[in-house]
Chain A
Amino acid sequence: EILMTQSPATLSMSPGERATLSCRASQSVSGNLAWYQQKPGQSPRLLIYGASARVTGTPARFSGRGSGTEFTLTITSLQSEDFAVYYCQQYNNRPPYTFGQGTKLEMK
């Protein structure tokens, strides 16, 4: 089973700042990596798949990069609605398609 590790666990930022969230896989997942956003009391929402492809409706300030074992999600110019928990998920090869433990992006 591939272990996904996200860092940091919590990121305190101010609106307008640039946030960078990291996700590391215990073995290569190629580019088979998705990012989700979850707000309190809501279901997760897919933001990015294929490591860098934005889903329709994902604002352009969200960008994903990486391949193999190292991935990042960058949010430029944070908006108030961006403060949430973010999860990465690998879906390489065979299941289980594991999630990271999440990064909470909180307002400073």
Chain B
Amino acid sequence: EVQLVQSGTEVKKPGESLNISCQASGYTFTRYWVGWVRQLPGRGLEWMGIIYPGDSDTKYSPSFQGRVTFSVDKSTATAYLHWSSLEASDSGIYYCARSDFYFDHWGQGTLVAVSS
């Protein structure tokens, strides 16, 4: 069974850095892209980008390029989403999902709250 398990809720202050994780199981991690999707409170889904664990090739949405960084650890089949300096406007739910261009399996989401 394909599963994507994300790390838990994060409460941070503006300017702080953050890594959230997404651990995959039930399939060959290096053969599928992993994507990240943002959902702001009460809003729709935003495609942030994708990373290919096989070679760490990344494709970022222009809206998120330079604001976040994707990475993977193949040894633990884990994908990461990193911010170096959070802003209050980053508050929302972040989903990881397995990507075969569309997203066929989703993590449970990680709530990120950024407030001073």
Residues on A facing B (Cβ under 8 Å): 1, 32, 34, 36, 38, 43-46, 49, 55, 85, 87, 89, 91, 95-102
CB distance from A54 to the nearest CB of B (A): 12
SS class, residues of chain B in contact with chain A? strand
Interface CB pairs A-B, < 8 A, 10: A1-B62, A36-B103, A43-B109, A91-B101, A95-B50, A95-B60, A96-B59, A97-B50, A99-B44, A99-B45
SS class, residues of chain A in contact with chain B? loop
Chain B residue at minimal CB-CB distance from A50: B102
Within 8 Å CB of A43, what residues of B? Answer: 95, 106-109
Interface positions of B from 61 to 116, Cβ below 8 Å from A? 61-63, 95, 97, 101-109
Within 8 Å CB of A46, what residues of B? Answer: 102-105
Residues on B facing A (Cβ under 8 Å): 37, 44-47, 49-50, 59-63, 95, 97, 101-109
Residues B44 and A102 in contact, CB atoms below 8 Å apart: yes
- Whole-angstrom CA separation of A49 from B102 in the bound complex: 7
Residues B103 and A55 in contact, CB atoms below 8 Å apart: no
Which of A38, A49, A98 is in CB contact (< 8 Å) with B47? Answer: A98
Residues A34 and B102 in contact, CB atoms below 8 Å apart: yes
- Whole-angstrom CA separation of A101 from B40 in the bound complex: 12
Within 8 Å CB of A89, what residues of B? Answer: 45, 47, 102-103
Residues A96 and B95 in contact, CB atoms below 8 Å apart: no
